[in-house]
């Protein structure tokens, strides 16, 4: 029997997804597609089953990553697929000692990669002066971020869970040594991938209301603080439901208020230079 499409049920589902993302249903009704529903349902998963992630699934995820935009088709990124338990254990120790990295069947380490271009330049006897500028490094970080986001969405469409790991930048040189990265290659972040454990109870985390991040024609600074105050109440209720007593405002200020809040990543500039990015 052919299933009957129920538009009311679809609207209810969309309303629930939007309420999860914002803490309440927006006053307007956005246009929602299956892709957008997948994006609205995104949550970070930090507890995984032991079921392996197939090579076919990883290949599909990487194909999705390679389908992301890339500046001038330069493709200045690579990814290391880590499955070896001992290596994952060492990478976890270098990345905030987070247990879910060890638990995930696959840990993808996303790289800004100029080694490939350096090899081409060497083969042709060509200069590479333009690679030694901040702009070029930014191109690499933007490229790899777009690719990895595509990969995360693709993984979730396959029923997998993911969580990004910025702490892969905590010890750039040591992590590079573990992965035997050549010069001009540096890890941007990690992505733990696996099937969510039945015990995983992570929920969709509300984001700032759109009025805080969307500006029409000109930047509207006066909308910021009222929107943030509204969000502080929304995210506070979310954290309370998680058994936590966090303040988003205090969390942001703690992160950027002192150098200590960077958790050792204040030396990223030095680490990039050590990895062969002689930035100017």
- Residue 110: burial class (beta carbons within 10 Å; 0-12, 13-18, 19+): buried
CB atoms closer than 10 angstroms to residue 129: 10
Measured over the CA atoms of residue 111, residue 114, residue 117 and residue 119, the dihedral's sign is negative
Summarize pLDDT for 63-115 with one digit per residue, the tens: 999 999 999 999 999 999 999 999 999 999 999 999 999 999 999 999 999 99
List the chain domain ranges: 7-41+204-241, 55-202+263-274
Residue 190 pLDDT greater than 60, yes or no: yes
Q: Which two tokens stand for residue 167?
A: 């702490």
Query: Beta strands 77-82 and 106-113: pairing type?
Result: antiparallel
CATH superfamily for 55-202+263-274 is NADH Oxidase (3.40.109.10)
Summarize pLDDT for 216-265 with one digit per residue, the tens: 999 999 989 999 999 999 999 999 988 888 899 999 999 999 999 898 89
Q: Which of 193, 205, 190 is nearest to 235 (CA)?
A: 205
- Residue 159: burial class (beta carbons within 10 Å; 0-12, 13-18, 19+): exposed
**What is the b/e burial string over 21-51, where b = at least 16 CB atoms within 10 angstroms of the residue's CB?**
bbbeeeeeeeebeeeeeebbebbebbbbbee
**What is the b/e burial string over 187-220, where b = at least 16 CB atoms within 10 angstroms of the residue's CB?**
bbbbbbbbbbbeeeeeebebebbeebeeeeeeee
Lowest mean pLDDT segment, chosen from 25-34, 77-86, 146-155: 25-34
**What pLDDT is recorded for position 2?**
35
DSSP state of 262: G
Please give the average per-residue pLDDT across 46-53, as a whole number.
Answer: 97
Q: Which two tokens stand for residue 262?
A: 């960077």
How far CA 167 is from CA of 1, 264, 265, in Å, comes to 51, 10, 9
Taking the C-alpha atoms of residue 18 and residue 13, their distance in angstroms, rounded to an integer, is 9
Residue 9 pLDDT greater than 70, yes or no: no
């Amino acid at each position: 029997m052919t299933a009957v499409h129920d538009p009311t049920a679809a609207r209810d589902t969309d309303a629930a997804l939007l309420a999860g993302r914002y803490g309440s249903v927006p006053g307007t009704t956005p246009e929602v597609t299956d892709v957008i529903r997948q994006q609205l349902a995104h949550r970070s998963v930090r507890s995984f089953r032991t079921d392996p992630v197939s090579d076919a699934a990883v290949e599909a995820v990487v194909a999705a990553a390679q389908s992301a935009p890339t500046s001038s088709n330069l493709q200045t990124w690579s990814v290391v697929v880590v499955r070896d338990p001992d290596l994952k254990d060492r990478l976890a120790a270098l990345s905030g000692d987070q247990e879910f990295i060890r638990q995930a069947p696959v840990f993808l380490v996303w790289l800004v990669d100029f080694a490939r271009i350096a090899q081409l330049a060497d083969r042709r006897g060509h200069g590479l002066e333009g690679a030694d500028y901040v702009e070029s490094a930014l191109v690499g970080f933007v490229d790899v971020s777009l690719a990895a986001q595509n990969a995360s969405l693709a993984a979730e469409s396959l029923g997998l869970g993911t969580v990004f790991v910025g702490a892969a930048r905590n010890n750039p040189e040591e992590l590079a040594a573990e992965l035997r990265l050549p010069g001009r290659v540096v890890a941007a972040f990690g992505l733990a991938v696996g099937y969510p454990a039945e015990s995983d109870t992570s929920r969709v985390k509300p984001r700032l209301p759109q009025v805080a991040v969307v500006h029409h024609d000109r930047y509207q600074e006066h909308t910021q603080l009222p929107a943030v105050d509204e969000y502080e109440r929304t995210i506070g209720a979310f954290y309370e439901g998680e058994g936590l007593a966090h303040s988003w405002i205090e969390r942001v200020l703690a992160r950027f208020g002192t150098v200590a809040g960077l958790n050792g990543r204040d030396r990223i500039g030095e680490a990039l230079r050590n990895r062969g990015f002689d930035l100017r």
